[in-house]
Structure 1
């Protein structure tokens, strides 16, 4: 069994996500309410007893091995109470929610770290304590022993992660850490959590945001406005129209939006950058470039596996985007891709090329910087020379 301790400021958004749809079942807890609003109000009343405690909400998903026998709701509730008591949260507001949307059985524990007396419960060494408690649960219920990845390494005990593992630094503590999570779910980049191991990520970033900014503060404001646009109904409608039935769900939060496809495929939109998870290179390249065009980006930079970067460059150039290489190696790769695009455009699967097609191709190559701007193609259908006339 695996458990991840994720701490955040607010509970309302987390509860709304966990109780969204038919996948969720409330199986226990001490909170009287059964709706996100009711439970958040109860937690808010307790939090006023300790207003200076920042990350007062603990989100603790517990996931069993896919080959373990299915536990009953009563068993899961007992396990959650045992873990909460072992961590010292007895007497704290909490709720246990079971999900049935994955191939492995799992529940989500939502706990306020403040008890009825206004005391804040220490979370010191909670990683080690959770591991000890889960080993006890495995023995009691005869479950497979499944340790958290990296459990034997002390350097991973307090490590934080974001969704884009190419920048493994903590996200700002802006209260958006109430992110859905379980052992195999991809977590949106908005809070703290256990380290995600071997998470394939490829990314596309808008390289020339408009308008140009004169200060860091103005740039931050612009990025916040971009993220705010991702939380509008228009964004949801556009994405559903773009991807159709392939798009299963959209989770919108203050840090951006997460697009869920057939599990475990996920795309995270951060406003000026888009990352794809658990997709093959060609599929990720096509989907990210389509998003860039819908978002009306003009130029993009790609990061990730070289095969993805090459495929994404080709897709971007075909769609009229300008590709800005991230380094010298990508600059050389971009030249190769432009050459490949040239051959494909002229050959056109062995068919004859019309002058209009060649002219359009030359204009596109000029825009990409591959041809001398002063170059002028030879005029087609020029008058024939007069017989006997000599030209000097």
Structure 2
């Protein structure tokens, strides 16, 4: 399983992308709204507790390997474990499963970083914590183990390296050595 965390400012924009895509199905939430607009209004209850917080939206994508599948019941268990271990214990969230691409089962979690008591889920080193939680989920659900980024010999190119390749039309040294 691979995880990606994106922090943002707009619940409406994130929810529209996640919910209005072809093949999207809500598989879990702790809210009443039925569409991106009503859910964004509902999310405002939590972020108004911390109006000065810049990145209140936490958009998490959890993707399975192409040959793997989880049923909705198992996804719900995995989501609950992931949110709890990442510190989202009293936070509003929506979980949407995407089946828009063949052999690419994944879910999108849209959650507020602001808990309903006004405290904020810390985001420092969240990507390392996320990888640790994902390794546990892989074991719990019998999924293929993916090497954590810090254990891998291969590092992805940086944005500036990619930009330089595009600008010059030449492969960077890093790509040539890979």
> TM-score, with normalisation over the residues of structure 2?
0.85
- What is aligned with 1:117? 117
Structure 1 or 2, whichever has the larger Rg, is 1
User: Helix, strand or coil: the match of 2:90?
Assistant: coil
RMSD: 2.4
Partner of 1:53: 53
* Contact 1:65/1:146 (<8 A) preserved: no
1:41 is aligned to 41
Counterpart residue number, 2:85: 86
| Structure 2 residue matching 1:144: 3-state secondary structure | coil
Which secondary structure does the structure 2 equivalent of 1:5 belong to? strand
The gaps in structure 1 that reach 5 residues or longer are 168-200, 203-301, 307-392
Contact 2:22 2:100 in 1 (8 A): no
Is 2:162 the partner of 1:165?
yes
Do the aligned partners of residues 2 and 120 (structure 1) sit closer, same or farther apart at CA in structure 2, a change above 3 Å counting? same
Tell me, in whole angstroms, the C-alpha distance in 2 between the residues paired with 1:49 and 1:162: 35
Would the alpha carbon gap of residues 163 and 44 (structure 1) be closer, same or farther in structure 2, given more than 3 Å must change? farther
Deviation at 1:162, TM superposition (A): 5.2
Name the CA distance, whole Å, in 2 between partners of 1:30 and 1:304.
Answer: 48
Q: Aligned equivalents of 2:9 and 2:21: distance in 1?
A: 24
Q: Name the structure 1 match of 2:169.
A: 304
The corresponding residue for 2:175 is none
Task: Give, in angstroms, the shift of residue 80 of structure 1.
Answer: 1.1
CA contact (8 A) 1:46 1:114 kept: yes
Change (3 A) 1:73 1:2: same
- Write the distance in 1 (CA, Å) between the matches of 2:169 and 2:131: 33
For 2:159 and 2:4, the matched residues in 1 are separated by 14
Encode CA deviations 1:280-309: one digit per residue, 9 max, x unaligned.
xxxxxxxxxxxxxxxxxxxxxx64248xxx
- Quick one: higher RCO (CA 8 Å, sep 6+), 1 or 2? 2
Task: Find the aligned partners of 1:52 and 1:134 in 2 and give their Cα distance.
Answer: 31
Matched, 1:29 2:22: no
Relative to 1, partners in 2 of residues 1:145 and 1:36: Cα closer, same or farther, differing over 3 Å?
Answer: same
SS in 1 for 2:163: coil
8 Å contact from structure 1 (residues 2, 147) kept in 2 = no
User: Residues 52 and 75 of structure 1: is their aligned pair in 2 closer, same or farther, counting only changes over 3 Å?
Assistant: same
Measured after TM superposition, the shift of residue 164 of structure 1 is 8.5
The equivalent residue for 1:107 is 107
Instruction: Check 1:38–1:105 CA distance in 2 against 1; reply closer, same or farther (3 A cut).
Output: same
Q: Would the alpha carbon gap of residues 164 and 14 (structure 1) be closer, same or farther in structure 2, given more than 3 Å must change?
A: farther
Secondary structure of the equivalent of 1:84? helix
* Count of residue pairs the alignment pairs up: 168
Unaligned runs of 5+ in 2: 172-178
* Structure 1 position 79, deviation (Å): 0.8
SS of residue paired to 2:150: coil
> CA–CA distance in 2 between the matches of 1:147 and 1:60?
19
Q: Within 5 A, what are the aligned runs for 1:1-392? A: 1-68=1-68, 70-102=69-101, 103-148=103-148, 150-152=149-151, 165-166=162-163, 202=166, 303-305=168-170
State the Cα distance separating 1:22 from its structure 2 match.
3.0
Give the superposition deviation at 1:123: 1.6
CA distance in 2 between counterparts of 1:11 and 1:105 reads 23
- Compute the TM-score of the two structures, normalised by the length of structure 1: 0.40
Q: Which runs of 4+ in 1 moved over 3 A?
A: 161-164
Distance in structure 2 (CA, Å) of the matches to 1:96 and 1:73: 11
